[in-house]
Chain A
Amino acid sequence: MSDSLGPGDERDVLAAEFVLGLLEGEDLADAGMRLSRDADFSAAVDAWHRRLGPLFDGVRDIEPPADLWQRIERRLDAQSRGAGSGEERPNSIVPISGRERAWRRTALAMTALAAGLALVLGLRIAEPERPAPPPVRAQPEPALIASLASDDNSAALAVAVDAGRGTILVTPVRLAPAPGRDRQLWLIPAGATTPVSLGLIRSATPQRIRIPAALAAAFGPEATIALSVEPAGGSPTGLPTGPVIASGTLDRI
C-alpha cells in the first residue's frame, strides 16, 4: 500500500476512513487528535463529507413512529426544567466535600482490585471480540484505571481505559438492583466541568464501551469518571439529572 501512496493520498485515505467510521482503537484516537491540530487533515475530512454526502440520497425514507417527536419533546422539557433550577448543572457532579475523603479511601482500596480485574477480564473478554488479534505493541502504555464506589454500597465499579482498542472496560464489582432506574456513567475531562455520557451500566457483567473519536484525547490522567442514578433509559437531558452516587479519577496503574 505505502509503495504507491503519496503523503496526500495517505492523508486522504485516513480522512475517508475517519468519515466512514472505519477506524477503531488507537487509529481512531490518533485521527481524532489530528483533526484538531492539522488543518490539511481537517480540510480533507470536510472534502470527504462533501464527496460522500450525496450517498445519503440512496437511503430510503422510513417514517418514525408517530409518538417519537413527543418523546423527544419530553426529553427537552426535562432538560429545560433542569437548566431552570439553580446554577450550572455540571456542578452537581463535584463531590460533596464531607464525603470526598471516604470516597478516596474506598477508591484506594479498590484500585488494586480494579487493576487485577482489568488484567484478568481484559484478556478474557478480548478473545471473542475481534477475528484477528491486534498487533502487540512493543511498549504498551500503562492502563488508566478509575475506581468508583457509592457511599451506600449499592454500586462499585472499576473503569479501565484501553487506549489501544479505543474502548473502556467497565467492571461492576457490586451493582444492587435499582428497579425503574438506570445508572449512567459519565466522563468529566481534566479541567472541564461538563460531563459527557459514556452510557448506561445495567448489568453486573463487564462491558466494553467504545470511546467516541471526539473524546479520545479526554481520557487522560486526572479525568473524572462518575456514576449517577437516572430515570430508566438514562438521563433525558444529556447531563446528569439524578444524584451522583460515585466518582473517581483516572490514574495510571
Chain B
Amino acid sequence: MDRLSTNASLEREDLVSALRQVSEGSRPALAEVYRRTSAKLFGICVCILGEAGEAEEALQEVYFSVWRKAGTFDPAKASPITWLATMARNRAIDRRRALGARKAATLDEAMDVPDGSIGALEQLQAAEEGGRIALCLGELEERQNQAIKATFYDGLSYSELATHWAVPLGTMKSWIRRGLLRLRDCLER
C-alpha cells in the first residue's frame, strides 16, 4: 500500500508539472499527459458512449481541450487525474446527449443493465481513496446505490434512469437526491 501511494503521489506531481508545461505550449508535455492518462480517459468515454467510434471522437476532443485549457487547471482544487477524468466524462455526456434521443435509445437497449458500473465496485475497493466512497455507497439503499452509479459511470439522465427503472421521474429524482445527501454525510463523517 505504501509503495502504491508513493507511486500515486509521484504520478500526481508528474501530471501537475506536465499540465503546467502544456499550458505553456509544450507539445511533448501533452504527449506525456496522453501517454499517462489516455487509457483511463478512453475507458470513461467508452463507458458513457457505449461504442468505440464515438468514444474515439470524444477522446480527441478531450485532449484538444486539455491543450487549450491546461492553464485553467488549479492543483489546489482538484487532482490532475480527476480534472482530466471530469473533462472526459463531461465531453462524453455532451456527445451522448447530442447524439439525440434515437441514438441514446439504441445505446440503452444495447446496455440493458447499465454496464459501466459492473465490476466498478470491486475495482474501487482495491483503490485506497475509492475504498471510502465504495463503503459509503454500500450504506445506501440498493436502488440508490445502483442509480447513482448508473448516473456516474453511464452518464444516464434523470429521464433515462426513470425509464430504465420504470418509475416516475419524480420518484427517481427523490431517490437520487436522498441518496446524494446520505452519501455526502457519510463521506464528511
B residues near A73, Cβ cutoff 8 Å: 27
| Contact indicator B42/A56 (Cβ below 8 Å) | no
| Contact indicator A22/B158 (Cβ below 8 Å) | yes
Supposing A61-B39, A131-B159, A131-B162 touch, asked if A55 and B181 sit within 8 A by C-beta, the answer is: no
| Contact indicator B169/A68 (Cβ below 8 Å) | no
Instruction: Tell me what chain A mostly uses at the interface: helix, strand, loop, or mixed.
Output: helix
Interchain CB contact (< 8 A) of A46 among B52, B77, B183: B77
Instruction: Tell me what chain B mostly uses at the interface: helix, strand, loop, or mixed.
Output: helix
B residues near A212, Cβ cutoff 8 Å: 94
A73 to B63, CA, bound (A): 10
A65 to B152, CA, bound (A): 24
| Contact indicator B59/A64 (Cβ below 8 Å) | yes
Contact with A along B119-130 (1 / 0, CB 8 A): 111011001011
Report if B168 contacts A (CB, 8 A): yes
A61 to B38, CA, bound (A): 8
A55 to B123, CA, bound (A): 10
Report if A117 contacts B (CB, 8 A): no
Interface residues on B, range: 35 or more
Max chain A CB contacts within 10 Å: which of B85, B119, B180? Answer: B180
**Shortest Cβ distance from residue B169 to the other chain A in the assembled complex, whole angstroms:** 5
A168 to B64, CA, bound (A): 24
Query: A171-179, A202-210, A223-231, A240-248: which lies at the B interface?
Result: A202-210
Report if A122 contacts B (CB, 8 A): no
**Shortest Cβ distance from residue B53 to the other chain A in the assembled complex, whole angstroms:** 10
B residues near A199, Cβ cutoff 8 Å: 98
| Residues A57-82 near B (CB distance < 8 A) | 57-65, 68-69, 71-73, 75-76
A215 to B123, CA, bound (A): 35
A247 to B53, CA, bound (A): 31
Interchain CB contact (< 8 A) of B123 among A12, A51, A60, A129: A60
Report if B16 contacts A (CB, 8 A): no
Contact with A along B129-167 (1 / 0, CB 8 A): 110111000000000000011011101011100110000
A20 to B158, CA, bound (A): 10
Interchain CB contact (< 8 A) of B181 among A13, A24, A132: A13
A residues near B101, Cβ cutoff 8 Å: 128-129
A59 to B120, CA, bound (A): 6
Interchain CB contact (< 8 A) of B157 among A12, A22, A71: A22
Report if A159 contacts B (CB, 8 A): no
Nearest residue, chain A, Cβ from B123: A58
A16 to B117, CA, bound (A): 19
| Contact indicator A69/B67 (Cβ below 8 Å) | no
Report if B60 contacts A (CB, 8 A): yes
| Residues B77-115 near A (CB distance < 8 A) | 77-79, 81-82, 85-86, 89-90, 93-94, 97-98, 100-101
Nearest residue, chain B, Cβ from A16: B180
| Contact indicator A9/B181 (Cβ below 8 Å) | yes
Closest 7 CB pairs of A and B: A58-B120, A53-B82, A57-B127, A61-B39, A57-B130, A58-B124, A54-B129
Seed contacts A57-B123, A207-B100; 9 additional CB < 8 Å A-B pairs: A17-B177, A46-B77, A54-B127, A59-B85, A68-B56, A75-B64, A76-B67, A132-B162, A199-B98
Binding site for B on A (CB under 8 A): 1, 5, 9, 12-13, 16-17, 20-22, 24, 46, 49-65, 68-69, 71-73, 75-76, 128-132, 199, 207-210, 212, 238
